[in-house]
Structure 1
Amino acid sequence: MSYDLIQQIQQKNNELTLSIKQLRTNGTEYAKAERDYKILLRTEVLKLRDKKVAIGEIDKTCYGIPSVAEARFKRDCAKVVYQANLEAINSIKLQIRILDSQIQREWGANIND
């Protein structure tokens, strides 16, 4: 049975490695989406300031501009994917610890037999 647990740990380690690589990709996408959103938001704020829109109305107006709203949506989606990837990594680590504990219990039981 320990052999099966060791195989499961190896599989989880492979999953963890893939998830960490994916985290880098997702993190980069999140950072790009954040950058694009902030650049677009700044551009639109400056346009509204040039049009003499009241300061208090600028953010309310900017967030309703379709291109800004779309950039914000893409940023938020990228953030959720990144956070989900982090949670998956934490879950895999927990699964590895559980399997490791099972192996330790089995080895401890075998030593005492």
Structure 2
Amino acid sequence: MQDLYAQREELFRQLMCELEAMRRTGQQYAQNESEYRRALRTAILEEREKKTPVTIIGDVCRGREDIAEAKMLRDCAEALYKASAEAIMALKLRIRTVDDDIRREWTSGGTGEGSYL
């Protein structure tokens, strides 16, 4: 029984660490998104000044190395953010499982589920 409580406490600790990681990755994702959008806007304005046809400006700008790099950084930050969200969901599921195990121990009178008295 003590093992279950220790396991649950460890899972709560991991959950808090993952929540902090999600906060950090969320901030990084937002920052990278902002930088990408500003770089793309600047590139579009530069292409408009060059009289590039409007129909291809988006493709030309997104094909530039600096814009592609900014987008890749944004996408990587988004992937980390989503991975943190999935890790949090998995930890919550594991905590619920351990809670159910603790509840079964308590309701079985310490004999274990399905045991004979």
Question: Same fold, TM exceeding 0.5?
Answer: yes
Normalising by structure 1, we get a TM-score of 0.96
CA distance in 2, matches of 1:110, 1:26: 45
* Length-normalised TM-score, structure 2: 0.92
Point out which structure has higher relative CO (alpha carbons under 8 A, 6+ apart): 1
Unpaired segments ≥5 residues, structure 1? none
1:8 matched residue in structure 2: 7
- TM-aligned CA deviation for residue 111 of structure 1: 7.0
Question: What does the per-residue CA deviation read over 1:63-87, in whole Å, with 9 as the maximum and x for residues that have no partner?
Answer: 1000000000000000000000010
In the TM superposition, what whole-angstrom CA distance separates every residue of 1:22-67 from its partner, at most 9, and x where no partner exists? Answer: 1111111000100000000000000001111111100110110000
Compute the RMSD of aligned alpha carbons. 1.2
Q: Which residue of 1 aligns with 2:39?
A: 40
2:81, 2:110 → 1: CA distance? 44
Aligned counterparts of 2:110 and 2:3: Cα–Cα separation in 1: 19
Q: How does 1:1-113 map to 2 (within 5 A)?
A: 2-110=1-109
Counterparts of 1:55 and 1:108 in 2: how far apart (Å)? Answer: 70
Give ranges in structure 2 of 5+ residues lacking alignment. 112-116
